[in-house]
Amino acid sequence: MHALLVTIHVTAAAFVLGVLFLQSMAVVMLRRLPSDAQRLGVRTLLGRIQRGVFWPILLLTLLTGLWDAMAEDTFSSGRWLHWKLLLVVLLIGTALLTSQGLRAERPSRFGALAVHIAVFVLALGIVYLAVLQPF
């Protein structure tokens, strides 16, 4: 059961990161689209992806990760999981910032680029902690 949970968790986490990168790139693209109709189309599509793919996959990632952590009693075996969960909360914060950028009339280019960097750095930290469990 442990292997199945980890497989689902890692695969879902990869989808979460992919959608986050897609959305932050779309915020940059929204600034360059010439017509209101095009911007509305992109916002509609990304809103559907966010509601229909991102949030459900994020929920699946969280549930499988927590289920596995409880089954393996990981909460009491090391502080690395607590730090990983903090980084996950910050990653969810980047998703909320991206949502705000998609709704903005004139999204911030700097904000979208900052989200790219933040998602990458947070993902590095999460993977580092999960794989090496350093403390």
The pTM of the full predicted model, rounded to 2 decimals, is 0.86
Any idea what the Cα angle at residue 127 is, between residues 55 and 81, rounded to 5°?
Answer: 85
Write out the DSSP string of 98-133.
HHHHHHSSS--HHHHHHHHHHHHHHHHHHHHHHHH-
Helix (H/G/I), strand (E/B), else coil: 74? coil
pLDDT tens per residue, the chain (135 residues)? 889 999 999 999 999 999 998 888 887 888 788 888 998 898 899 889 999 999 999 999 999 999 999 998 888 887 899 999 999 999 999 888 888 777 776 667 777 778 889 999 999 999 999 999 888
Containing domain of residue 6, as a range? 2-132
Cα gap 3→1, rounded to integer Å? 6
Closest CA to 50 of 120, 101, 111: 101
**Domain count for the chain:** 1
Query: Inter-axis angle of helices 36-49 and 80-103, to 10 degrees?
Result: 150
Closest CA to 122 of 97, 82, 95, 87: 87
